[in-house]
Structure 1
């Protein structure tokens, strides 16, 4: 295949950040392989793949549950066997349940978040890095949620596991730098992917000095920039691209 390959997790919803990232990377000429949840999102994922083909690139998707500990390895092996090694990895898939407070959090709730948000992202990242040859200009980009900037009551499991992404981004960046791989994380802030009600919009909008709530395309443009070979001097960073959002 001519052109670079990008692997993006959690892109089944066409309104979501993952789908917007797929579009941005496809516009730049990257072939796109993305994941979605089995059954629930397959029809929508198929429509996204057709849309990506219109950019003149190849596009495929894998219905896969990243909570399975073997899923990261199986996913990379499948992409490599049927296409080639990806140059770009975007860890976008996330598990989130609200109302997990100190009074309701239990082991099952914590494990469900850990398996997808942290374990799958870290396993994909290290296995991707092992496969990348030195000097490949590999890119690992993970999505985080600004949990280090302020409290997020009711989301204890989510903030704990997403916080782990910020930690491993900095250390993994140092470990894989000799291979020419960069590792960064992006916090897009509150983003309208279809979940924002009018009540939430009224609450959030005054906190955005730029006068609007974030869109999936805002995050996608930054990810696409970090994925370019020209961004090879940026690594180990957690970039808060929130339109000036204040808590």
Structure 2
């Protein structure tokens, strides 16, 4: 715990209590990291899983009870100045951040027959542009000699095809390429950059039929949980992972497509 004293982590895309973002916040808070998270209720309210408007504040209260500093903000990451807004808020409220976890994502179903320029742009703005520019702004403001961490969330696009998710697969695939190149650029600054693919994870969107179809593909005999990916990320941002960078880690319980 002493080693982590004062470490500050940013986690984007934390609107729902059942989501991966919330699980990451909990896992890092348990280890003593201070937390700053962002959320955007307008997106999650439109999705089939929906959300309650008080979920971000409930999470904040839950994290504060663990004895760490917590702050958050509602932020539309598609805005040009969103990265600067976020880093400025974190610096003012908690201090210079050590860790950035790009968890926010945009995802809707589409394929070659119905994908539109508008829908592709929406995926790009969050999955590629926001991730890239926020990582850039984080690195530019990093004022320490070592210990910086960036973790991007990907979805295993190069593990196999994702029919029906053309825009999502295309833009998330770019995150893998970003991770590899950015890791080489930021190593001299003492920042590692990795991506994690959680595989199919039960965050509240799965129907019983979907779970039944997926279950045989998991050799452990269960569906992935948000806490599974959170534990992987906790390791990647730790001091023990300071020699791991530029990797795309498939933390998906041996999922077989």
TM-score by length of 2: 0.93
Alignment partner, residue 31 of structure 1: 34
Which of 231, 234, 238 is 1:221 aligned to?
Answer: 231
Q: Which of 20, 28, 43 is matched with 1:17 structurally?
A: 20
1:91 aligns with 2:94: no
| Partner Cα separation in structure 2 for residue 5 and residue 88 of structure 1 | 6
Native 8 Å contact 1:69 1:115 kept in 2: no
Matches within 5 A, 1:171-210: 171-210=181-220
Deviation at 1:42, TM superposition (A): 4.7
Q: Distance in 2 between matches of 1:161 and 1:42?
A: 28
- Which of the residues 44, 48, 54 maps onto 2:65? 54
Listed one character per residue, the Cα deviations across residues 5-40 of structure 1 (whole Å, up to 9, x for unaligned) are: 100000110000000000011011011000111465
Structure 1 runs of 4+ off > 2 angstroms?
38-42
Count of matched residue positions in the alignment of Structure 1 and Structure 2 = 245
Q: In structure 1, how many angstroms separate the alpha carbons of the residues matched to 2:197 and 2:119?
A: 23
Q: Decide which of 94, 118, 143 is 2:128's aligned counterpart.
A: 118
**RMSD over aligned Cα, in angstroms?**
1.1
Residue from 242, 245, 254 that aligns with 1:235: 245
Alignment-derived partner of residue 143 in structure 1: 153
Would the aligned equivalents of 1:87 and 1:136 in 2 still touch at CA under 8 Å?
A: no
Paired residue secondary structure (1:112): helix
Q: What is the distance in 1 between the residues matched to 2:227 and 2:144?
A: 31
> Contact 2:71–2:93 at 8 Å: present in 1 too?
no
Provide the TM-score with structure 1 as the length reference: 0.96
Q: What is the aligned partner in structure 2 of residue 75 from structure 1?
A: 86
Residue 247 (structure 2) pairs with residue 244 (structure 1): no
Q: Is it true that 1:6 corresponds to 2:6 in the alignment?
A: no
Per the alignment, residue 211 of structure 1 pairs with: 221
What are the ranges of 5 or more consecutive residues in structure 2 without an aligned counterpart? 46-51
Offset from partner CA, 1:224-244 (integer Å, 9 cap, x none):
111112210000000001101
Task: Identify if the C-alpha distance between structure 1 residues 222 and 160 changes in structure 2 by more than 3 Å, giving closer, same or farther.
Answer: same
Partner of 2:49: none
Inter-partner Cα distance in structure 2 for 1:73 and 1:42 = 25
CA distance in 2: counterparts of 1:197 and 1:211, whole angstroms: 17
